[in-house]
Structure 1
Amino acid sequence: MQAIIAHIEAGQRINGEEFLRLEREASLHQLGFLAHAVRLRLHPEPVVTYVIDRNINYTDICISACKFCAFFKAPEDGRGQVLSQAELAQKIAETQALGGTQILLQGGLHPDKPLEFYEDMLRFMKATGIHIHGFSPPEIVHFSQLSGLSIEQVLQRLMAAGLGSIPGGGAEILSDRVRQEMAPKKCTADQWIEVMEIAHGLGLRTTATMMFGHIETTAERLEHLQRIRDLQDRTGGFTAFIPWPFQPDHTPLAAVRKIEKTTAVSYLRMLALSRIFLDNVHNIQASWVTQGPKIAQLSLFFGANDFGSTMIEENVVAAAGIRFRLSEEEIRGLVIDAGFQPQQRLMDYTPV
């Protein structure tokens, strides 16, 4: 353990075996101390960033039927909906009135909409001047399968229509054992990585996420982080990593398996381990949406340097019964109270 700690303090990369040793044996305080040291090495200035945006889910109709999702409606349900352009315009106008700079655009895997539908939606949204951070890798793979076009062709067409960057959703755990049990109709781990690698090659910046605390093992968490780190070594295209714990309430998975909610301590440990292992991902984001404001504030001493989004609207986590809400003023207050300077940013971390 002393050798591993010395490696980290010297700014050296740890391997998978060392990660597993830390996970097993390091105390919460040790992990926090090490992660904060890494954070300060990458971000010596006492600044915590945040973005003002809105999460727009353009449809809840989805053929994937993921066992961890409380938000989707099956196509035959009848209660599902697709947002109109008028609804999109209203949501964007409200976002811009609050100083918002981007829309996080994601939706279900709709069985019937052609690629042209998404191109039209992007062109309509882009005309408002907003940055569109949209379409996670499972959506891109879905568009590719429906259209018969390659991943690269789909991305090129979406970029031409106004897509500005890609969120890291749909990663869950990048292990095919986990994905087969949790979401067998969704893209594979290799396909998720492929979308991101092609996007980076086309000049699109993206984020990466990890939803943990369900059926995965510690080794599978490591596999996930290793895949992210390896791709970042190749492309440098990830701007940030966001680990967040599974929210079991109202989900099909929780109905058949007893899964306890991840504790704040377990969340902080995983956050710190992510900061330590992902030495080539510049920014780590706190998850106040799932953890609430006080644990998110504490996250700033466990490796996080970004407070995420104001999330003017959020539907997927809310469907699992989690309804934390923070205004820009509240985020700035929490950051200042923790001893840092708040700084609004764009998707690529350019200061506003």
Structure 2
Amino acid sequence: MPPADLRAALRTAARDPDRLSDAQAEALLGADGGALEELCATADALRARRAGDEITHVVNRNLDVERVGAGTPAARARVRELAAEAQRLGATEVCAQGPLPPGAPADGYLDLVRDVAAGAPGVHLHAFRPPEVADAAARRGSSPREFLEAARAAGLGSVPGTAARILDDDVRARLAGGPDLPVARWVELVTTAHEVGLTSTATMVHGHVESPAHQVAHLRLLASIAERTGGFTEFIPMPFVPPPGAALPAGCRPGPDAREVRAVTAVARLLLAGRIDHVQAPWPKLDEALVLQLLAGGADDLGGLLLDGELDPSAGQERGLTLTRSDVERLAASLGRGVRRRTTRYGEVADPAPAPA
């Protein structure tokens, strides 16, 4: 039998998750054994009510801005070719992350938007994390708002809400080994994107130097932003994966175990319900068994298929990691669930062209 405080938290989660206190949410993050199974079942019931029973995915292609964004005529032509290839393969989204390489033109970020739009008209461009938005504004001598407005006019559809790590300045500094983008600046850049009409994802990297209290505070902050702007399309709880051979900061864990990944996903579903109603299982960082547990414990989305294409398979940051339509259908079938191909904003896909099998 779990402790009384955990039992009370489970009852509150089942009856009205909006009434969960921070202390109760922290207790749920520590759930294990039967209590973990009850937590995940409660989160999954809420998932069914808020997001339905279909497992969603988007057909997309990743581009590493630092690798493809040199801004030369040849490089710009290559971006157009890569975007066109992605569209031919059935992609409705191109995702571009990372900074421009040294020596790129001051308006290189805008050029990339224009080139994707030219190469793949109608494809949704999901690009530029908060650090890149700040970099773009600095390079062109404008405010972030002015850059985001110009980028939206040129064809940008949404921005990744990554680089969030944990939204606590002390944790961010410890994890980065020095100064990091301040929390207030991250919030400012993301909310500005929402204000100019762009949507974004919301993320949390967990399993390093943070505590359950930090995780809860992070989720509460995202919920408050969502209440103000309505601009988050989904939440992605991302397990910390240290770079191979990297020295970890003092007190840093080498990533979360499966129990924590499941608990974080379930608690996120409870705390964000009605504010961010889609929770993603980040399949590139997890094994299949754990992905299935997350889809049965609060998650409803698998994110992007991450097509590599043939023109330049190494042009994306997660090259070599590709999910097929058959993979998605197999995972869904094992849970007795349906599959829905979605747009970036979770709409219906107008183009009936099938995703690669």
**TM-score w.r.t. structure 1 length?**
0.85
1:307 is displaced (CA, Å) by: 1.2
Q: Which stretch has the larger CA shift, 113-122 or 332-341?
A: 113-122
Contact 1:60–1:81 under 8 Å retained in 2: no
> Distance in 2 between the 1:312 and 1:160 partners?
26
Which position in structure 1 is the counterpart of 2:30? 24
Which position in structure 1 is the counterpart of 2:332? 335
How many residues of Structure 1 are paired with residues of Structure 2 in the alignment? 330
Equivalent AA in structure 2 for residue 306 of structure 1: D
Q: Which stretch has the larger CA shift, 129-138 or 81-90?
A: 81-90
> Distance in 1 between the 2:175 and 2:102 partners?
20
Q: 1:224 to 1:316 in 2, by over 3 A?
A: farther
> Distance in 2 between the 1:119 and 1:254 partners?
36
Which position in structure 1 is the counterpart of 2:87? 96
Q: The residue matched to 1:123 in structure 2 has which SS?
A: helix
Contact 1:310–1:331 under 8 Å retained in 2: no
1:158 is displaced (CA, Å) by: 1.1
Q: Which runs of 5+ in 1 are unaligned?
A: 62-79
1:199 is displaced (CA, Å) by: 1.4
Within the candidate set 213, 216, 219, 1:222 is matched to 216
1:256 is displaced (CA, Å) by: 7.9
Which position in structure 1 is the counterpart of 2:311? none
Q: Which runs of 5+ in 2 are unaligned?
A: 1-5, 309-313, 350-357
Equivalent AA in structure 2 for residue 236 of structure 1: G
Equivalent AA in structure 1 for residue 107 of structure 2: E
Which position in structure 1 is the counterpart of 2:354? none
Pair 1:119-2:126 in alignment: no
Within the candidate set 2, 7, 12, 1:7 is matched to 12
Superposition map of 1:151-162 within 5 A: 151-162=144-155
1:258 is displaced (CA, Å) by: 6.7
Pair 1:247-2:252 in alignment: no
| CA deviation vs aligned residue, 1:232-272 (integer Å, no higher than 9, x gap) | 11111101000111111426344987743422222111111
Equivalent AA in structure 2 for residue 138 of structure 1: P
| CA deviation vs aligned residue, 1:76-116 (integer Å, no higher than 9, x gap) | xxxx9999123323322332222110111111364544541
Q: Which segments of structure 1 move beyond 6 Å, counting only runs of 4 or more? A: 80-83, 255-258
1:288 is displaced (CA, Å) by: 0.8
Q: 1:268 to 1:199 in 2, by over 3 A?
A: same
Q: The residue matched to 2:66 in structure 1 has which SS?
A: coil
Equivalent AA in structure 2 for residue 191 of structure 1: R
Within the candidate set 181, 203, 213, 1:209 is matched to 203
Superposition map of 1:1-352 within 5 A: 1-13=6-18, 14-25=20-31, 27-43=35-51, 45-59=52-66, 84-108=75-99, 110=101, 112-127=103-118, 128-129=120-121, 130-183=123-176, 184=178, 186-250=180-244, 252-254=246-248, 259-279=253-273, 280-313=275-308, 315-316=316-317, 324-352=321-349
Q: 1:251 to 1:233 in 2, by over 3 A?
A: farther
Equivalent AA in structure 1 for residue 21 of structure 2: N
Q: The residue matched to 2:107 in structure 1 has which SS?
A: helix
Q: Which stretch has the larger CA shift, 261-270 or 83-92?
A: 83-92
> Distance in 2 between the 1:51 and 1:176 partners?
33
Identity of aligned residues (%): 30
| CA deviation vs aligned residue, 1:3-49 (integer Å, no higher than 9, x gap) | 43333223341232221122235632122112112112213x32111
